[in-house]
Amino acid sequence: MKKKKDQPAPVNSDLFQQALGGVIPLPTSNRIPLAQPLRRAPTRSTAISTNLFIEDKLSDNDAWGDVPTEFLRSGMSRLTLRNLRRGRWPMQDILDLHGFQSDAARKMLLEFLSDAIQHGQRFVCVIHGKGWQTGGKEGVLKSRVRHWLAQYSEVLAFCEAPQNAGGSGAVWVLLKTGDQSKSDMAGKF
């Protein structure tokens, strides 16, 4: 007896269409797109360039103590910190320091904060990573970035980002802008 020729196997796209037969598309999102894409730190291979000289007054001393989860500049209302934790303001910029050595990360942070203040940005995010070390110690960048932020005079407050925004591997930062005094700012928040 002669065997019938086997039919050719269905094409992948046909199989895919069969598999998706009963799928209902999701409704369109009601989210508003960002006006401009958030900036990311350049990769290691990209040279860090600065147009202006940024003075580095940050110290690494005492960066190995307890890692603070939040910071509030003296004279600021506790309500400001609460609003920061709740994400009351729209995120204006993000700096990702993953993979940077300590000195390069400090330079990037200084440049980022200086640029954000120059452009009138108030609410930014700094991602430093969790960086767990052996023995349960905190990561180097995690402790240093938070220590540096507390030293930077234009940083009014910072807090650990919520789990859906990086958790303990990131901090949300509230910056001072322009010539506003602390008393004026306390009333706004």
What is the model's pTM?
A: 0.62
For the domain with range 77-189, which CATH number is right: 3.40.50.720, 3.40.50.300, 3.40.50.1820, 3.30.1370.110?
3.30.1370.110
The domain locations on the chain are: 77-189
pLDDT mean over 151-162: 89
Q: What is the pLDDT of residues 76-93, one digit of tens each?
A: 889 988 988 888 888 899
Specify the 3-state DSSP secondary structure of 12: helix
- List pLDDT tens digits, range 12-28: 888 888 888 888 888 87
For residue 157, the model assigns a pLDDT of 92
Q: Which pair of structure tokens corresponds to residue 130?
A: 């969790």
**Of the candidate ranges 31-35, 79-83, 118-122, 164-168, the one whose mean pLDDT is the lowest:** 31-35
